[in-house]
Structure 1
Amino acid sequence: MTELNQIDLRALQAGDKRTWDAFVGASAPLINAVVRRSLVSYRLSEEDVLDAAQDVYVRLCANGFRLLKTYDAERASLSTWLAVVSRSAAIDHARRRRQATQPLDEVPEARLAVEDRYVEKLKIPAGLLTERQILILKCLYDEERDVAEIAKLLNIDAQTVRSTHHKALVRLRAHFQVDDT
């Protein structure tokens, strides 16, 4: 079996079939490993992983080996360069394959597996938050109003709503902070 560093890149770029076959044989383990590692978090099927690896070869030979001709041996080894190209092609493939999502508001509650018995109300000590902070938190979280709606309701600027919300969260985080030591 031919080593990757023994491939005649000029013959490869010229389209020599034997050189291409040797190149595929020598580069396949590297390309497959990089693609597989790059796609682990996407949880794609084995078929998708193989398709993504095939995409690497398609990229390399497309447009008269245009991408392959950009390889510069002075900047990186062929295996390093192929790893970068493989990772990029794999991520592009995964993005194209990404499942269509559905807005959360359109998902039936039964599918969300949210049960009221697991929802625990936060007990906020008296005096920790101002009346305005409590009101804004209730509007945002209990009534599920948006910032613009709350601003209009309270006759204040939307930035004031965001700022008050932020200050309330800072106070709550400081109060309920658990000591890690």
Structure 2
Amino acid sequence: MAELNQIDLRALNRGDKRTWDAFVVAAAPLINAVVRRTLAPYRLSEDDVLDAAQDVFVRLCAQDFRLLKTYDPARAGLPTWLSVVSRSCAIDHLRRRRQATEPIDDVPEAFLGIEDRHVEKLRIPDGLLTARQVLILKYLYDEERDVLEVARLLSVDAQTIRSTHHKALQRLRAHFREEESGGGG
């Protein structure tokens, strides 16, 4: 059994079959241990853990060993680098296993806990917000447009929309906090 540090990386990156086989034998215990440790809190089946470990090897040799060719011995030892790659692959494996979700628009309102679709609109006192802030809130909430669409409509940068939106919400929060505490109109 070859040690990881004895693997000829140039031959490995060229796709030499014997070198790859020696690498797999040498790296498997480390990769399996890291994947097992990463996935342990999620109580996956043994098959899932083995699949995730296999994903590491697949990723290492995919696209003509593209990932493996990024290894730089000057930055880390091969076992350390493989540990990082293995942990990342295990997390990716978890993400792929996530249960499918349903778009909120497809869920009946009764299941969302919404009792009345026609909620009374918030009355914003005159002069509290600038005309631009009111317009942006109208586009974002009343017309349900996204930030990029509003930015295009107003011929401004999306960050300007986000910033104006944020400032408008700050003013509204401050106003309604003051009103709630009995200090305002």
Normalization by structure 1: what TM-score?
0.59
Letter aligned with residue 42 of structure 1: Y
Q: How does 1:8-157 map to 2 (within 5 A)?
A: 8-101=8-101, 149=119, 152=121, 155=123
Instruction: Please give the alpha-carbon distance, in whole angstroms, between the structure 1 residues aligned to 2:100 and 2:65.
Output: 33
Instruction: Please give the alpha-carbon distance, in whole angstroms, between the structure 2 residues aligned to 1:145 and 1:162.
Output: 24
Letter aligned with residue 78 of structure 2: L
How many angstroms does 1:20 deviate by? 1.1
Letter aligned with residue 12 of structure 2: L
Letter aligned with residue 20 of structure 2: W
How many angstroms does 1:145 deviate by? 7.8
Instruction: Please give the alpha-carbon distance, in whole angstroms, between the structure 2 residues aligned to 1:93 and 1:50.
Output: 11
Question: Secondary structure in 2 aligned to 1:83?
Answer: helix
Letter aligned with residue 19 of structure 2: T
Percent identity between the two aligned chains: 69
How many angstroms does 1:162 deviate by? 5.6
Match of 1:139 in 2: none
Instruction: Please give the alpha-carbon distance, in whole angstroms, between the structure 2 residues aligned to 1:50 and 1:19.
Output: 22
Match of 1:120 in 2: none
Structure 2: stretches of 5+ with no match in the other structure: 126-167, 181-185
Instruction: Please give the alpha-carbon distance, in whole angstroms, between the structure 1 residues aligned to 2:25 and 2:50.
Output: 15
Instruction: Please give the alpha-carbon distance, in whole angstroms, between the structure 2 residues aligned to 1:20 and 1:93.
Output: 23
Q: In the superposition, relative to structure 1, how do residues 4 and 101 fare at CA in structure 2: closer, same or farther (>3 Å)?
A: same
How many angstroms does 1:37 deviate by? 1.4
How many angstroms does 1:59 deviate by? 0.8
Instruction: Please give the alpha-carbon distance, in whole angstroms, between the structure 1 residues aligned to 2:40 and 2:116.
Output: 38
Instruction: Please give the alpha-carbon distance, in whole angstroms, between the structure 2 residues aligned to 1:23 and 1:13.
Output: 11
Structure 1: stretches of 5+ with no match in the other structure: 110-142, 169-181
How many angstroms does 1:101 deviate by? 4.2
